[in-house]
Structure 1
Amino acid sequence: MTTPFALDRTQHTWCAELRDLAARRLRPLAEKGEPGHVNRPLVAALGELGLLARALPVEGPARAMDLCLLRLSLAQECTEAETALALQGLGAHPVARSGTPDQRARWLPDVVAGRAVAAFALSEPGAGSDAAALELLAEPAGPGPRGGGGWRLTGEKCWISNAPEADVYTVFARTGQAPGAAGVTAFLVPADRPGLSGRPLEMLSPHPVGTLAFDAVPVGPDDVVGEVGGGFRVAMTTLDLFRPSVGAFAVGMARAALDAALLHASERQAFGGPLKDLQAVSHQLAEMATRTEAAALLVLAAASAYDAGEPGVARRSAMAKLFATETAQYVVDAAVQIHGARALRRGHLLEHLYREVRAPRVYEGASEVQRTIIARELYR
């Protein structure tokens, strides 16, 4: 078991600096972005400020703690910046961890600098939560111009963040006939490959989400990330790292909602005094604060365990994502209730958070999937 966890002074200082950067430098760029499209100036700023380099270190492994503190701190001030950073990390982490030296040299510098946009293409119309059921087919092709065999990708991906505007996709396809997770391979596919197209989806999301269509898209041995047939492992190790940080994103939103509710309850006069003097409101605030603190501790403990190489990472990651995202949904909803109608007005912080907080309970494994993972790991 991980020892009891608390941030040290250096980490507290860094989080404060991140919140300040998000408010001063990133939020103005986010406000100029067009919903449903990649905000490339915002991504570039994340690179210029060195934040993408902390999420995707070129040398050495990615640290779950750094990723969680980044996402938690940015989310408190600018959810758009948090999501842009997270999607770059999710899309490029398989290359950073399992890619060849040539793949890393070709793509990581541009992704880390914010010049290239990455995406993680796992989900399909019939394979979302059940990721092992994916059907995108990698059919063997003849020798390419540089010799060696290759494949042609045929099928569809759906619910892909940053699609169809990303510059490069980590794509998971079936290279063998074995059922389930066996026979899945990860490929690095640039957006300009012939036969690759996409279309945007109108979603309850400020960042782009779309579909990708693969019409015999050529890929070769040089495009394989990791090993042929080892793609499912590549996907799951990526999700084990990122699931606690989804929880961190949720905690950041919960803290922002709690802060807004505390301020409103202290200033809003009703029934002869401030709302905070009403027991119903004060007890609600106490519950919100307690759940948020518990979620933060679970997230940071999971990150600490990941970085220490402790056993049970899949279970801890699932617990962190499950509890934190469910907690954030509760806290944001309670904050809206305390504010009343003003929180539902377009442009209000809580109106924004209310729209943002729903999706994390679904993506990277829905809450039901996290419970399944936890139960399975308990009996392992």
Structure 2
Amino acid sequence: MTAFSLEPAQLAWCAELRALAAERLHPLADKGEPGHVNRALVAELGSLGLLGRLFTSGALDLCLMRESLAYACTEAETALALQGLGAHPVHAYGTEAQRAHWLPRVTAGTAIAAFALSEPGAGSDAAALELRAEADASRGGRSSDPSQGGRFADTPSLTVAPDGPARWRLTGEKCWISNAPEADFYTVFARTTPDAGARGVTVFLVPADRPGLTGRGLDMLSPHPIGALDFDAVPVTAGDVLGEVDRGFRVAMGTLNLFRPSVGAFAVGMAQAALDATLAHTAGRDAFGGKLRDLQAVSHQVAEMALRTEAARLMVHAAASAYDADAPDVPRRSAMAKLLATETAQYVVDRAVQLHGARALQRGHLLEHLYREVRAPRIYEGASEVQRGIIAKELYARQEAR
């Protein structure tokens, strides 16, 4: 199989996923409350075995899942993707104990995961993180010093993390975190070495009930839950570390290199849904003595929408196949796939709205929904400008290596 042709079994599976999304997942999505985790929907994804495939399949398989679900139910697609994004560092970098404790719950849909990287002053710049992981002064002891504050005074359980004495305390803020503040655990990126840039970041697996961790929801355009997290001397131990101390930047980039092409797949699924809705509308809509599709200005726009959607799909498949083959140019291909697909989806959905007219702006219309959904992917997991920077950096590095 090449990146440019799917096997019949893959095509059949995509069709099955679209049907499942329309028949079983969409009704659950409709019952959810915007801005909050839809646990019934996540549980259904688990019962269908889709969450388990996040950790047993390759990048192309992930892209096919995300595109197919997005076509019929963007809420289901996002719920699946967020479980994968939040739990992938545990799967790829966690200890046997960490994986055994959390991954079965994630795959069953009974534990909600979240990827906590972004901060108010460090969105796409992961090397500029300011959340501090400071050495714990009370290492295993209980504080009786009133100056430490009443919350910690004479309270042993708050100076000891669940799996042993606290080694660090996390202090600072995370912002624009999907599934926050309702997740059951967070993969948290914190600075363990000051002034070390990307080299001084460590990843911690932090359960939501850890003392000192609070959060609040943010009222965002996107319908899925997004929030901010506040860390007030949250205790973490060596047993909470994912990967190696001060090597968390590798965890972030490894996770993003996998998920960036699949963000593109999400975008392609939305673009295809908008394109198909536009084909049906323009073929049936009477206008100026004929059908809307008979107008050359309309048919040429539809052709451009189809052209860009297919080009984006092929680039997503190529990037995913490169990841699965462990190719050396994965960062560049992943950035290209996310950039092209998300920008394409924005164009296609906007054109679809224009060709549908005012009806597409009514609450509840498919395109009104897609118009709200399509904007965020151009920002999260690295904005379009960041992707262009990655592409240029990789190109120049390759040129200099010749």
Under a length normalisation based on structure 1, what TM-score does the superposition of the two structures give? 0.97
Note if 1:265 corresponds to 2:282.
Answer: yes
Equivalent in the alignment of 2:45: 46
Residue 179 of structure 1 deviates from its aligned partner by 2.6
Q: Which residue, 132, 135, 148 being the options, matches 1:137?
A: 132
- 1:293 to 1:268, Cα distance in 2 relative to 1, 3 A: same
Larger Rg: 2
Q: Deviations over 1:123-160 (max 9, x none)?
A: 00000011110100000014336767610000000000
**Could you say if the C-alpha distance between residues 344 and 66 of structure 1 is closer, same or farther in structure 2, counting changes exceeding 3 Å?**
same
> Is 1:115 aligned to residue 77 of structure 2?
no
The separation in 1 between residues aligned to 2:108 and 2:164, in whole angstroms, is 33
Aligned partners of 2:386 and 2:372: how far apart in 1? 22
Report the counterpart of residue 56 of structure 1 in structure 2.
55
Partner deviation per Cα, 1:40-97 (whole Å, 9 max, x = no partner): 000000000000011123xxxx510111000000000000000000000000000000
Per the alignment, in what secondary structure is the counterpart of residue 353 of structure 2?
A: helix
Partner of 2:209: 192
> Where does residue 101 of structure 2 map in the other structure?
106
1:154 is aligned to 2:171? yes
Question: Is the partner of 1:160 in helix, strand or coil?
Answer: strand
Aligned to 2:120: 125
Match of 2:226 in 1: 209
Whether 1:319 and 2:336 are equivalent positions in the alignment is yes
1:73–1:122 CA distance, 2 compared to 1 (3 A):
same
Equivalent residue letter for 2:128? A
Q: Which residue in 1 is equivalent to 2:300? A: 283
The secondary structure found in structure 1 opposite 2:197 is: coil
Distance 1:118 1:259 in 2: 33
For 1:122 and 1:149, the matched residues in 2 are separated by: 22
Q: Deviations over 1:331-351 (max 9, x none)?
A: 000000100000000000000
Contact 2:106/2:112 (8 A) holds in 1: yes
Name the counterpart of 1:378: 395
Structure 1 residue runs of 5 or longer lacking an equivalent are: none
- Name the counterpart of 2:148: none
Equivalent residues in 2 for 1:357-372, closer than 5 Å: 357-372=374-389
In 2: Cα distance, 1:37 partner to 1:318 partner = 29
For residues 341 and 217 of structure 2, the distance between their equivalents in structure 1, rounded to whole angstroms, comes to 29
How many matched pairs?
A: 375
The alignment's C-alpha RMSD in Å is 1.2
Partner amino acid, structure 2, of 1:102: A
The one-letter amino acid paired with 1:9 is P
Q: Which whole-Å deviations, capped at 9, do the CAs of 1:212-239 have from their partners, x for residues lacking one? A: 0000000000000000011111011000
- SS in structure 2 opposite 1:243? helix
**What's the CA shift for 1:4?**
5.2
Would you say the 8 A contact 2:166–2:236 is kept in 1? no
